[in-house]
Amino acid sequence: MVVRPAVAALALVVLAAAGVRAQEPGPFPAPKAAPAIVTPGRTSADPPSDAIVLFDGKDLSRWRGKDGGAAKWTVRDGYVEVAPGRGDITTADKFGDVQLHIEWATPAVVKGEGQERGNSGVFLMDRYEVQVLDSYDNTTYFHGQAGSVYKQYAPLVNASRKPGEWQTYDIVFHAPRFDEQGKVIDRARVTVLHNGVLIQNNVEIYGLTYNDRPAIYIAHSPAEPLHLQDHGNPMRYRNIWIRRL
């Protein structure tokens, strides 16, 4: 039998339409559990009811030095200040996927320039750095300024306040996933708001945020500490809280 071209074309259209209809999703099943009730904080800066308060302005009981001993930064007037030379500090608790709120301030008296001016860092899972830096009228490499995923992504905009003024990061972080051989199968992702302004939009982290070598993933536990960096500057932090997601 000879199939006319027009008939064959019509048949293909009908089959294609049937295939599209077959792929259309049906109604989504109703969730079986009600969302958990969380009481919001009085303001967006205050911790909600399910948050873990890592620093409330009083002590560093939830923090350790990198050697596992007591954290040796200085607590006063509701904030904690980096004690230059005393080393980084890490949380006693470990975390995977999180929502993090943290407030920080660079020294009011400006000293140095570039990476030597008001430098610290927020390391998610002890490895993946969101840069803390005095980036107000301070030139440096773009993927090293405040709010950058260090040496990987510059912030979308520079939302920095003046030196000495309090600033905020609100961070949503999704931890990487590894298979049984230690190969990364889902890279980490991070969203960052700096002073309420979106500066990292669900970006994919390419691995450890090294300063002097390409990023690479090295398999690690599903939960690791949060850590804050001592880069030799008397940076201040306050009102640090975190939610497991």
Edge-to-edge strand order for the sheet containing 89-91?
Answer: 63-65, 89-91, 227-228, 120-124, 128-132
pLDDT band at 199; cut points 50, 70, 90: very high
Looking at this protein, which amino acid is placed at residue 129? E
Which domains, from first to last, does the chain contain? 30-244 (2.60.120.560)
pLDDT band at 59; cut points 50, 70, 90: very high
pLDDT band at 239; cut points 50, 70, 90: very high
Q: What is the pTM of this model?
A: 0.88
For the cut 80, the answer to whether the pLDDT of residue 19 exceeds it is: no
Q: Average pLDDT, stretch 12-25?
A: 52
DSSP tag of 133: -
Q: What is the pLDDT, as a whole number, of residue 28? A: 83
Q: Average pLDDT, stretch 72-97?
A: 97
Q: What is the pLDDT, as a whole number, of residue 27? A: 79
Cα–Cα separations (whole angstroms), residue 6 to 2, 15, 18, 19:
12, 14, 19, 20
Cα–Cα separations (whole angstroms), residue 145 to 119, 121, 130, 158:
9, 11, 9, 8
3-state secondary structure of 32: coil
Q: What is the pLDDT of residues 152-166, one digit of tens each?
A: 999 999 999 999 999
pLDDT band at 109; cut points 50, 70, 90: very high
Q: Average pLDDT, stretch 218-245?
A: 97
Tell which phi-psi region holds residue 196, choosing left (phi > 0), alpha (psi between -120 and 50) or beta: left
Q: What is the pLDDT, as a whole number, of residue 15? A: 47
For the cut 60, the answer to whether the pLDDT of residue 22 exceeds it is: no
pLDDT band at 14; cut points 50, 70, 90: very low
**pLDDT > 70 in the chain, percent:** 89
Q: Average pLDDT, stretch 66-76?
A: 94
Helices (H), the chain: 5-23
Q: What is the pLDDT, as a whole number, of residue 66? A: 87
State the average pLDDT for the chain: 92
3-state secondary structure of 19: helix
Backbone angles phi, psi at 122, to 5 degrees: -105, 115
Q: Average pLDDT, stretch 69-92?
A: 97
For the cut 90, the answer to whether the pLDDT of residue 16 exceeds it is: no
For the cut 70, the answer to whether the pLDDT of residue 123 exceeds it is: yes
Residues 6+ apart with CB under 8 A from 198: 156, 191, 192
Residue 8, both tokens: 């064959």
For the cut 90, the answer to whether the pLDDT of residue 46 exceeds it is: yes
